[in-house]
Structure formats: C-alpha cells, structure tokens
Amino acid sequence: MYKVKVFVTLRESVLDPQGKAVTNSLHSLNYREVSDVRIGKYMELTIEKSDREINEVVNEICTNLLANPVIEDYRYEVEECVVL
Amino acid sequence: MKFAVIVFPGSNCDVDMYHAIKDELGEQVEYVWHDAESLEEYDAILLPGGFSYGDYLRSGAIARFSNVMKEVVKAAEAGKPVLGICNGFQILLEAGLLPGAMRRNESLSFICKPVELKVENNQTMFSSALTEGETIMIPVAHGEGNYYCDEETLAKLKATNQIVFTYGQNPNGSLADIAGIVNEKGNVLGMMPHPERAVDELLGGADGLKLFQSIVKTWRDAHVVNA
C-alpha cells in the first residue's frame, strides 16, 4: 500500500490572488521579510499496490483530475507502507 | 426547437434557464439529469450556473466526468449549439471544449451585479441578433470568473474572432476583459454573465433574450423550410 501526498499550486506564471492577499496581511503584521506567498492544495491518497507502476498511476490521476494543467503545477511524495 | 437544461447536483440557475426558454423565448425545454444516457432528441444544450458537486476540487472539475458530459461532447462535435453559463462555462473549460481556465476573482470576493458587456463578435449563432460593438447589460454572479489562458491561446482567440463578449469595466481581473468565448467551430459558447437573468424588463433588462433568439434564428434558418 502507498501513501501519496500531492501538492497542487498555481503555476509561477499565474497570479495567485489569495497568496497576494496573504502576503499583504503578513506585511501589515510587520513581517517585512516575507516576499511571497503561494497558496495551494494538499491531498493525501491511499493507493493499493497493483501491477501498474505507482508513479505512472499518480501522474495520471494528477493530470486527469487533481490538477488543471492550464493553471496549476503539482508535485508528490510517495511513501510505501507496510501493512502489519 | 427543443432545448435541454442539464442539471447537476448543485446547479442552481437551471430553473431560471428553463423559465427563460419556455416563458420568455417560447420554445420547448426539458430538464436533463447529469446521468442521462443520450441528448439526441435535443437541438441545443444549456449548461446552467450554480455550484455543481459543491465546486469541490475546482469549479467544474467533478461535473466534467459526469455521464451526460460524454453526450455533451458528442452534441458539440455534431455541431449543435452548446451554451455554458457561469458554472456551465467552467465545466466546458474543464472538459476541454473551450480553451483556458478560471481563477478566483482578483478581489477574492463574490461579485453579483449587472455589468456592461461589449459585443465583440456578432457573427456567431449566439450573438447574431446583437450588433457588433453594441453594449448590453447582463448580470454576473461568481467568485471564480477570472479567465486565464496562455499568450499563444489568447493570440489565437483574437485571430479567429473567438472572443464574443468583453467586460466594459473588468469586474474580476479576467484576461483581456474576456467575458465569453466560442470554440473554433463556433457552436460552443461559454460566458460568465447570466443572460437567463436578463430576459424581461421586470428583471431590469431583456438584453439576454437576444442571445437565445440568436440560437433559435440560426436553427430555424437551417432546419425550417420557409422560415
């Protein structure tokens, strides 16, 4: 079994209005050292082992549904779990 | 002419759309549930606004995989008019029937008010009853109507006259003031403003009705002898 952590964020070239609003409020709290905030989504998937390679499955899931490639990028981490 | 109003769980402009077609336009219309197997009996497909599937993940992202969408794609390929309004536009983008994607409004607030739209292209089956350059008033009601596409796509939209409506005063940060676009073939229109909410002077204006009248006129010219 795998635990897959997926992170979806807006692409660098796409303005992130939420991130911009949070950056501004951090500045108003005097955190001047914060130069940028990007807001995204975090998803945890539990995937059973199958005969398909796990990266192939996760990439397919991400491009088909979890991320919209027009405006979003994704990355993920895979942990293999030992079922006791 | 027979219209289908597709109803997803979470659609909330379906009744307004039905009223606009039946009572104001005077054409046949039926509600079609999201798991329908066929749209063959309908001449035009309407995807109404709302929050299909709670807008979970992204607006339109889940609705795109509902059963009826395969039929909507078929209808679009067959050249039938397909009109997506607000959430319906977002679904058409997610389904890849139109290029681009929606971002949160620049202001981050939900905007609900009448806006001025400029008719950029009246040579489509959705805008032929309007005049090019004309300004019409149609209400918007959305939190994610900030249209985005890459530069190459925008250049193509402009070159092929696919931008049908632009905002007079951009309410949401939308790229190139885009309010509505058609596909290359011209039979799939997506727009954020709600023409179905502007079909009677009682509602503050009837400019939206012309959009539906355009669809009927194009259809009659092609299908009715001595129209």
- β-bridge partners, A4: A45, A78
pLDDT at B227: 58
Rg (CA), chain B: 16
pLDDT at A6: 98
- Summarised one tens digit per residue, pLDDT across range B136-163 is 999 999 999 999 999 999 999 999 999 9
Q: Which domains does chain B have, with CATH numbers?
A: 2-223 (3.40.50.880)
Give the pLDDT mean for A36-58.
95
Answer for the pair B165, B182: CB distance below 8 angstroms, yes or no: no
pLDDT at B184: 97
CB-based contact (8 Å) between B148 and chain A? yes
Give the pLDDT mean for B186-193.
98
Give the pLDDT mean for B108-133.
97
- β-bridge partners, B30: B4
* Identified catalytic residue from B86, B94, B142, B144: B86
Q: In whole numbers, what is the pLDDT of chain A averaged over residues?
A: 94
Q: Tell me if ipTM is over 0.90.
A: no
Give the pLDDT mean for A4-15.
93
Q: Which of B150, B153, B154, B174 to mutate to test the interface with A (most CBs of A within 10 A)?
A: B150
Question: Cα separation of A51 and B77, whole Å?
Answer: 36
CA distances to B10, B73, B133, B148 from B99, rounded to whole Å, are: 24, 14, 24, 9
pLDDT at A84: 64
- Summarised one tens digit per residue, pLDDT across range B62-92 is 999 999 999 999 999 999 999 999 999 999 9
CA distances to A55, B24, B66 from B209, rounded to whole Å, are: 50, 8, 29
- Is A2-14+40-80 in CATH node 3.30.1280.10? yes
Percentage, residues of chain A above pLDDT 90: 87
| pLDDT of A83 over the 80 cut | no
User: Which residues in chain B touch residue A40, judged by CB atoms under 8 angstroms apart?
Assistant: none
Which residues in chain B (165-184) have CB-CB distances under 8 A to chain A? 173
pLDDT-derived band at A15, boundaries 50, 70, 90 = confident
Q: How far is CA B14 from the centre of its chain?
A: 12
- Summarised one tens digit per residue, pLDDT across range B28-75 is 999 999 999 999 999 999 999 999 999 999 999 999 999 999 999 999
- Summarised one tens digit per residue, pLDDT across range A54-73 is 999 999 999 999 999 999 99
pLDDT at B112: 97
Measure in Å the smallest separation between the Cα of B95 and chain A Cα atoms.
10
pLDDT at A82: 80
Answer for the pair B148, A71: CB distance below 8 angstroms, yes or no: yes
pLDDT at B46: 98
- β-bridge partners, B2: B28
Question: Cα separation of B81 and B88, whole Å?
Answer: 14
pLDDT at B203: 87
Question: Cα separation of B14 and B19, whole Å?
Answer: 9
Answer for the pair A59, A47: CB distance below 8 angstroms, yes or no: no
**CA angle at A14 for the pair A11 and A16, rounded to the nearest 5°:** 95
Could you say which of A10, A13, A17 has the minimum Cβ distance to residue B106? A17
SS3 A43: strand
- β-bridge partners, B4: B30, B45
Could you say which of B57, B103, B106 has the minimum Cβ distance to residue A71? B103
| pLDDT of B225 over the 90 cut | no
User: Which residues in chain B touch residue A45, judged by CB atoms under 8 angstroms apart?
Assistant: none
Dihedral through CA B134, CA B135, CA B138, CA B141, nearest 10? 120
* Boundaries of every domain in chain A: 2-14+40-80
pTM of the predicted protein model: 0.93
